[in-house]
Amino acid sequence: MSGSSGPLPYSMRDVDAGAYNNAKSRHRSRLKIFIQALATNRGKYQCGKFTVGKFLSLLMVFGLIYLLLHKSPDGFVSGQVHDKEVQNKHVWKAPNIRTLWRKPPRLPPRLPPNEIYKNNSLLQQSPPSEWASRQKKVKEAFEHAWSGYRNYAMGYDELMPLSHRGVDGLGGLGATVIDSLDTAIIMGADDVVSEASKWIEDNLTKRISEKGQVNLFETTIRVLGGLLSAYHLSGGGHAGSDDSGIPVTYRRANPERLLEVSKDLADRLLLAFTSSPTALPLSDVVLRDRTAHAAPDGLSSTSEASTLQLEFNYLSRISGDPKYETEAMKVLEHIRTLPTVEGLVPIYISPHSGQFNGENIRLGSRGDSYYEYLLKVWVQQEERRDSNLKYLFEMYTKAMKGVKHLLVRKTVPNGLVFVGELPYGRNGGFSPKMDHLVCFLPGTLALGATKGVTKKKALENNLLTDEDIENLQLAEDLAKTCVEMYFVTSTGLAPEIAYFHIEGNPEVGPDGGNKSSKYINDIIIKPLDRHNLLRPETVESLFVLYRITEDPK
């Protein structure tokens, strides 16, 4: 799911270009007045073949060069960003002509993952020291990100790295601190564990009692989920070192304190369930008032209402109080009774009527983790998965059949497999659009096929049906597409949304920019979608697929 551990995605803004815009406007105005004065003469004057139009064009070129080279009394502010600050103000320098004409670096050709594996001896037979070195670099990158957050935004939800300040975009509960703690425990980043644990013990209870509105879904997956993950990794719930996988020498947090804070937060979040007229929770909670309300339009995202159960179920297990699991599971029990389109559901649902709203069906935003949690909640509840929770796996299986029948397509000319959308339901047109969020699906399909054991073991024990084998192949095909969404761009970063060329569809738009990619003509990236939010779905699916297939690619 999208609530991954680690520092949250950064918002890249805060560039104050006011001085530049003012200077540019003054020069532009002077140029415009001069051009208008010349243009008022209706006659067309020529000197040989040199027309007034050509003269004006030449004049505009000189004017632009003047703007680029001239420094106004207020100073010229370029679009380049400098991290240094002097007296809390950015220092700006005028770009020289060599900087402006400098070509971007030429990127090396990007090969498909299978070709990279084939040509990379390190991936085939890397010595342990090589992997240890890579692991060390990953840890250093995490600690670097944490240090920036700690120095400039400690206690805020997110860091704004350009302005060196913090912002609260998720309710003000220190989301980055909590979301980073389990990652720090796993990595053995003891200093980060100490700093994050101390902040939680000193501040979080007070924050929970004083803060205002929070979103139920975001707070559950990031804050409650982060606390519970750290609790487990710190030995809570009788989790020994073998159970958690964390070496006993690594620093832990205080599990009792984490459980106490988790219960306090969850008790307030429960109001979203108990205040609703149906089994579906309201979308928002006011923590300090202990009240809950629906979104302004009265609707909830289907994924938000159905992506709470893993956390609330686990809290009931470790606290011994069944109320958390009882309220959360009512949601899935209720959705079970609603009509679907071959197991697929619309992306909006009403907590007031208890019914789906609209016909928009997709596995991207607002729909994604509904399908993911059907399977993962079933896997989590091992004692009941073959009895009264069997319906969850049946709902998941039916939905995956619907995905393959209604949403899976191949691109032209090169046959990438992707999952599209039905914006107007089954009877409307098919949209060849796929959010990066959909890249959770390869890992989920693999987990659903083998139930978590390796593919080799599942085959040896005859545990795979024909449908399981088909789903495993689809998982690998979709993972390839998700990786190619990165490789097809000139930066190596995937877009938030991609469109795909398919037979008989008029979808057009710019490509990713990496002309050496085999799939440059298969993938369309529209201007508004050309950004990357550091989403984890592709890496998560690759991780799960590696564990299950054991294929090093």
Nearest to 167 by CA among 151, 146, 153, 147: 153
Tokens of 37: 């004065």
**Could you give the angle at the alpha carbon of 467 between the alpha carbons of 466 and 469, nearest 5°?**
65
Residue 269 belongs to what H/E stretch? helix 255-269
Looking up tokens 């949304």, which residue turns up? 497
C-alpha distances out from residue 362 to 339, 421, 435, Å: 16, 5, 9
* Pair type for strands 348-349 and 300-301: antiparallel
Is there a contact between 446 and 475 (Cβ–Cβ < 8 Å)? yes
Is residue 527 reached through a cis peptide bond, with omega within 30 degrees of 0 on the bond before it? Answer: no
Q: Collect all residues with Cβ–Cβ distance below 8 Å to 372 and sequence separation of at least 6.
A: 1, 307, 440, 444
* Strand 356-357 relative to strand 165-167, pairing: unpaired
Buried b (16+ CB within 10 A) or exposed e, 54-66: eeeeeeeeebeee
Among the listed residues 158, 522, 537, 540, the single catalytic one is 537
Collapsing DSSP to helix, strand or coil, 46 comes out as: strand
Residue 359 falls in the annotated catalytic set: no
Helix (H, G, I), strand (E, B) or coil at 42: coil
Active site residue 496: yes
Please return the burial class of 303, using the count of CB atoms within 10 Å of its CB with bins 0-12, 13-18 and 19+: buried
Report which of 219, 354, 206, 214 is spatially closest to residue 284, judged by C-alpha positions: 214
Contact 499, 523 (CB under 8 A): yes
Other C-beta atoms lying within 10 Å of the C-beta of residue 190: 14
Active site residue: 421, 496, 511, 522, which one? 496
Phi-psi category of residue 337: left, alpha or beta, with phi > 0 → left and psi -120 to 50 → alpha:
alpha
Tokens of 449: 């096929």
Q: Would you give the distance in Å from CA 118 to the centre of its chain?
A: 30
CA distance 164 to 162: 6
C-alpha–C-alpha distance, residues 485 and 477, integer Å: 13
- The question of whether 460 is a catalytic residue gets the answer no
Q: Residue 348's beta-bridge partner residues?
A: 301, 357
In the set 182, 218, 484, 522, the catalytic residue is 218
CB atoms within 10 A of CB 245: 9
Please work out, in degrees rounded to the nearest 5, the angle formed at the alpha carbon of residue 64 by the alpha carbons of 53 and 56.
Answer: 10
Q: Which of 325, 368, 435, 468 is catalytic?
A: 368
Unique residue bearing structure tokens 């679907």: 340
Which residues belong to the active site?
Answer: 218, 368, 496, 537
